[in-house]
Structure 1
Amino acid sequence: MCVLDIIHVCAEYPQEDTDRRCQNGYWQRGGNASNNSTVLRKLGAPCEFLGMISTSPAFQFLYEDCRQRGIHIEQCPTTDMDPPFSSIILVKSKGTRTIVHSNPGFPILTYEDFRKIDLSSYSWIHFEGRNVEETRQMIEWIRKHNQEMKDNEIKISVELEKLNRDLFDLASRADVVFVSKDIAEHMGWKTAKEAVYGAKEIVHDMRKKEKSEDNFKWPTTDIICPWGSVCTDCLSSSGEYNSVPAFHVNEVVDSLGAGDTFLAACIYALHFLKKPLSQAVRYANQAAAFKIQRRGYDEIDQFQIKEI
């Protein structure tokens, strides 16, 4: 999604039913896939955001921000509804962020919207795990394209963040799956290692139950689970497991979008830098650490991985 983030920077979290002044306040474009696009552009990758956008005056700031950053949005379907927005409190003393979302029934991207794009223009398509039925059809269309166009196969990645077990149906169809700590804990997994192996088992079971056409070939799936400031674990399609420690930072300036930065940097490292899975995760860990020491995303183009 592409939303408006309204951000208040506070010395400490405000008490309920009080009137306080924040240290700083600003707004910026937000939303998972929107932020992913920003980071990919800052790292140097060409990219496009495809999602429902609003024609209301409130959205013009977001529209212009995409244009200025070189993020293509020309093919986005539109609505006259006001865009979703998020109110965010950043607490400097603790490095935390608290987010309250407002999304009064904003329409989603549909399969019919997605069918209008020319798949031959893309090499990697990433999905936010949201509407399972619509997204499943989109992925199936890409898979059909891949079978017909062997020399122009598109990699598919999916982010599983919302607390919905049905999202794993999308994971079974993707090449790369990002499992959030939130959904992992919702599934009862207590560590990142449990999460990647648990997700692999669910994907395996779903594929066994589903009948497919004789010429259909399930994708080889890499599974990645960031576990906050502890580590990121990954399990490759070949069964190789790695746990990559989080990169230590001395000061947290802005933790908003750290996960989105990790995900985009991981895709960039896998696809554009051609790094193996564990090295791509290490690259993404360091990129996320670099980001949270700076406000917003504008300095990410200065990121360079540190060899350890």
Structure 2
Amino acid sequence: MPCKGRIVCVGMCVLDVIHLVEQYPVEDTDKRCLAGYWQRGGNASNNCTVLRQLGAPDVEFMGMQSASPAFSFLYEDCRKREICIDNCPSTNMDPPFSSVILNQATGSRTIIHSNPGFPSLTFEHLAQLKLTNYGWVHLEGRNPESILPFIRDIRAHNKQLKDPRGRIRISVDLEKMKHEILELGEAADCVFLGKDLATFLGWNKPEEAVMGLYNRFKPQRGENNAKPAIVCPWGADGAACVDAHGNYAFVPSKPVQKIVDSLGAGDTFCAAVIYALHMLDKDLQEAVQFGHAIAGYKLAYRGYDDIESFSQGR
């Protein structure tokens, strides 16, 4: 595969403790699960896993690590999958974790997060990255005070390049229901808009969501006055998208016969779209179609390992 520059995903890495149950438990009862296990989680962390399973050769996770023994499993899992974590800062605090209930009867997943004030990345951490190593930077939409200066540094880096092929593309995942994270999207090349945030902002249909956000964004100075492309997954129906030139499309997803594990399906979709845009040079609609295919395939299997089989069968 030709060298495209490293993909780095910036955000959280957490421990997911998962219980598979026949039906969601009734409150104040004692119930045995069908299976119990743990895996590495967190949006950016999951993105890295999927990108590696798809065949991206050079992937990095950038986020706070923990020196706690509880983090050793997460650390070793990154190493096993050849996800670079060399630039991650560390703290002595215990890592965040999530308790997850997978309901076999409905295919739903219920997530309860625990984060006792785990420190976030600062701009100083991000500024240590050597930008010439990267071709794509994907960011969880959090901590605008740290992330926005980093995006500006990337924009300045791109502007001084003599060869535009070395340009770094920026994507941002906007999920948190906070108005202040929208400025991160305006500064990016590609925005993944969560359905919950879209409805929080008053948009109740997929076209309203992507076009509403697109019209809200101002053109990026120094970037040919372009606006970011926007992708908004809308549940099982599919995803709406608008490219940098304002061309709208709704890309339906294919029905899934049986849902085995829906945990991380959204992260899988996001990573697959990035892979299609960056590694396969697909246009936005084609990339969204690819994202649907990978996410739909993932739903039929537990975890992310079987995605490699889809990749090898392309």
TM-score of the aligned structures, taking structure 2 as reference length:
0.92
The structure-2 alpha-carbon separation of the partners of 1:64 and 1:235, relative to structure 1 and needing over 3 Å to count, comes to: same
* Residue identity opposite 2:257 in structure 1: N
Q: Would the aligned equivalents of 2:206 and 2:232 in 1 still touch at CA under 8 Å?
A: yes
Q: How is 1:202-213 mapped onto 2 (pairs within 5 angstroms)?
A: 202-204=216-218
1:42 is paired with a residue whose SS is helix
1:174 is paired with a residue whose SS is coil
Secondary structure of the structure 2 residue equivalent to 1:303: helix
Instruction: Give the corresponding residue for 1:105.
Output: 117
Q: TM-score, normalised by structure 1?
A: 0.94
Structure 1's unaligned 5+ residue stretches are none
Q: Identity of aligned pairs, percent?
A: 52
Pairwise mapping of residues 135-174 of structure 1 onto structure 2 (< 5 A)?
A: 135-151=147-163, 152-174=166-188
Question: 1:177 maps to which residue?
Answer: 191
CA distance in 1: counterparts of 2:74 and 2:312, whole angstroms: 30
Out of 207, 218, 221, which is 1:193 matched to? 207
Q: Residues 305, 185 of structure 1: CA spacing in aligned structure 2 closer, same or farther, 3 A cutoff?
A: farther
- 1:42 matched to which residue of 2? 53
Q: Structure 1 61/198 Cα, relative in aligned 2: closer, same or farther at 3 Å?
A: same
Counterpart secondary structure, 2:158: helix
For 1:177-236, what per-residue CA distance to the aligned partner results, in whole angstroms no more than 9, with x for missing partners? 0001110111111111111001112213xx59xxx7xx6765541100000101101001
For residues 135 and 219 of structure 1, the distance between their equivalents in structure 2, rounded to whole angstroms, comes to 20
Q: In the alignment, is the contact (CA less than 8 A) between 1:283 and 1:305 conserved in 2?
A: no
Q: Is the 8 A contact 1:168 1:202 kept in 2?
A: no
CA distance in 2, matches of 1:56, 1:162: 27
The corresponding residue for 1:285 is: 292
Q: 2:79 aligns to what?
A: 67
Distance 1:301 1:191 in 2: 34
CA contact 1:119–1:145 (8 Å) conserved in 2 = yes
Q: Is contact 2:294-2:307 (8 Å) kept? A: yes
Q: Is the 1:259–1:288 contact (alpha carbons within 8 Å) kept by the matching residues of 2?
A: yes
Please tell me the residue identity of whatever aligns with 2:273: C
The SS at the match of 1:123 is: strand
- Name which of 28, 34, 48 aligns with 1:17: 28
Aligned equivalents of 1:229, 1:306: Cα separation in 2: 24
- Name which of 19, 38, 49 aligns with 1:8: 19
- Is 1:26 matched with 2:37? yes
Q: CA, structure 1 residues 305+236, in 2 after alignment: closer, same or farther (shift >3 Å)?
A: farther
Instruction: Please list every run of at least 4 consecutive aligned residues from structure 1 whose deviation after the TM superposition is greater than 4 angstroms.
Output: 215-219, 304-307
Q: 1:271 aligns with which of 267, 275, 278?
A: 278
Aligned AA for 2:22?
A
Q: Distance in 1 between matches of 2:184 and 2:237?
A: 27
User: Structure 2 regions of 5+ residues with no counterpart?
Assistant: 1-11
Moved more, 13-22 or 35-44: 13-22
Quick check: 2:214–2:227 contact (8 Å CA) kept in 1?
no
Q: 1:150 to 1:100 in 2, by over 3 A?
A: farther
Q: Is the contact made by 2:261 and 2:302 (CA closer than 8 Å) also made in structure 1?
A: yes
Pick from 84, 95, 98: which aligns with 2:107?
95
Task: Name the counterpart of 2:306.
Answer: 299
User: Which range is displaced more, 190-199 or 30-39?
Assistant: 190-199
Give 3-state SS (helix, strand or coil) of 1:284's partner: helix
Supply the AA of the counterpart residue of 2:215.
E
Looking at structure 1, the residues matched to 93 and 162 of structure 2 have their Cα atoms a distance apart, in angstroms, of 40
Structure 1 residues 256-291: Cα deviation after superposition (integer angstroms, max 9, x where no partner): 000000000000001110011101000001100000
Q: Distance in 1 between matches of 2:118 and 2:250?
A: 38
Contact persistence 2:186–2:227 (CA under 8 A) = no
**Native 8 Å contact 1:181 1:225 kept in 2:** yes
Q: Contact 1:287 / 1:305 at 8 angstroms: preserved in 2? A: no
Q: Secondary structure at the match of 1:244?
A: strand
**Match in the other structure for 2:4:** none
Whether the 8 Å contact between 1:3 and 1:29 is mirrored in structure 2 is yes
Q: Deviations over 1:234-260 (max 9, x none)?
A: 001111111111121100000000000
